[in-house]
Structure 1
Amino acid sequence: MSDLVDTLIEADQWEKASLEELADLAAAATLTHLGMDPEAFEISLLGCDDARIAVLNTEFRGKPVPTNVLSWPSEERAAEDAGEAPELPAPDKSGMLVELGDIAIAYETCAREAADAGRPMRHHVLHLLCHGVLHLLGYDHIDEKDATLMEGTEVAILATLGVPDPY
């Protein structure tokens, strides 16, 4: 695998959950599904706990609570029209890796959500990482048309990883 995902683990539980492996799988599957070369891009990932993500969620979204995953694209990539796919970044002509952005994922929230939904933690984490990568690429789910596009794309990508439809 390339250096696609640069992972920093702050919460030890992520080591046991194989976050680095799951991140590489989800990111490569997402980019490959969209026709992008995973070898040309990089993503930074923070595997943290609920306390840390609550601080980030407060700072960046004004919501002082933990959440499952947060994404910060390196640049705005959203499509102009609702329901349209965003224009995807191209590889750098000089061969430098193109930075897509940063993702943070919180262990306790992910574990609780997986348990509540009766899903394997591995499947839930793959879904959330795929979701986060799509956000970095300009996908969103605020508008109903955008949500339909994003969720359909997630389902197709997750199928390539053997993960059933989470919706």
Structure 2
Amino acid sequence: MTLDLMLDADDEWDSSTDWARLAEAAARAAIAESAWPQLADGERAVELSVVLASDAEVRELNSTWRGKDKPTNVLSFPQAEADDLDGAGAPGPELMLGDIVLAHETCTREAEEKALSLEHHAAHLMVHGTLHLLGYDHLEDGTAEDMEARETRALARLGIGNPYEVAA
């Protein structure tokens, strides 16, 4: 797999962190724990974008696209359909998974509240966002449990502990 990662970082995000490396590792770990691990092994290029934004930017997106006039920690905007994912291991044009947007102030506050590093919390949110791009959701108990288990396994691949145990 060739992962084409487009990273756009707001000035508020610490430039000493290699956000591109973290985002790529998080996306690869999430893909490996998805129903489409062939995305990681196939010849087809896969693209997703990660935007490290401010709370104000995320609030505007959340209001426009979800009708919720407040910031949130992560937003995902999927572009691929299930049929695109099923055939993703075969050669073909680049597969556009979609966009993930993280809000700096919200992510920082949540990391502090959970006594986590910003990098570990952001990695969790990037895994979470990538799983959303792959069609996973947490709207019902069964789907939430499945998505949480996939997140936990993906984070373990990155050497990051279970964030749900920390929160409990």
TM-score range with shorter-chain normalisation?
0.7 to 0.9
Size of the alignment, in residue pairs? 159
Classify the secondary structure of the residue corresponding to 2:128: helix
Alpha carbons of structure 1 residues 37 and 92: separation in structure 2 relative to 1, 3 Å: closer
- Post-superposition offset of 1:127: 0.4
In structure 2, what residue type is equivalent to 1:37? L
TM-score in terms of structure 1 length: 0.85
Residue 100 (structure 1) aligned to one of 83, 97, 100: 97
Residue 87 (structure 2) aligned to one of 86, 90, 96: 90
Task: Please state if 1:61 is matched with 2:40.
Answer: no
Which portions of structure 1, spanning 4 or more consecutive aligned residues, are displaced by more than 4 angstroms?
Answer: none
Asked if 2 retains the 8 angstrom alpha-carbon contact of 1:11 and 1:107, the reply is: no
Cα displacement string for residues 106-141 of structure 1 (whole angstroms, at most 9, x for unaligned residues): 111111100001111111111000000000000000
Classify the secondary structure of the residue corresponding to 1:15: coil
Alpha carbons of structure 1 residues 27 and 125: separation in structure 2 relative to 1, 3 Å: same
Asked if 2 retains the 8 angstrom alpha-carbon contact of 1:140 and 1:147, the reply is: yes
The equivalent of 1:155 in structure 2 is 152
Classify the secondary structure of the residue corresponding to 1:37: helix
The equivalent of 1:11 in structure 2 is 11
Alpha carbons of structure 1 residues 126 and 116: separation in structure 2 relative to 1, 3 Å: same
Asked if 2 retains the 8 angstrom alpha-carbon contact of 1:14 and 1:47, the reply is: no
In structure 2, what residue type is equivalent to 1:45? V
Classify the secondary structure of the residue corresponding to 2:68: coil
CA distance in 2, matches of 1:24, 1:54: 25
Alpha carbons of structure 1 residues 92 and 43: separation in structure 2 relative to 1, 3 Å: same
Sequence identity (%): 38
Alpha carbons of structure 1 residues 94 and 87: separation in structure 2 relative to 1, 3 Å: closer
Residue 126 (structure 1) aligned to one of 105, 116, 123: 123
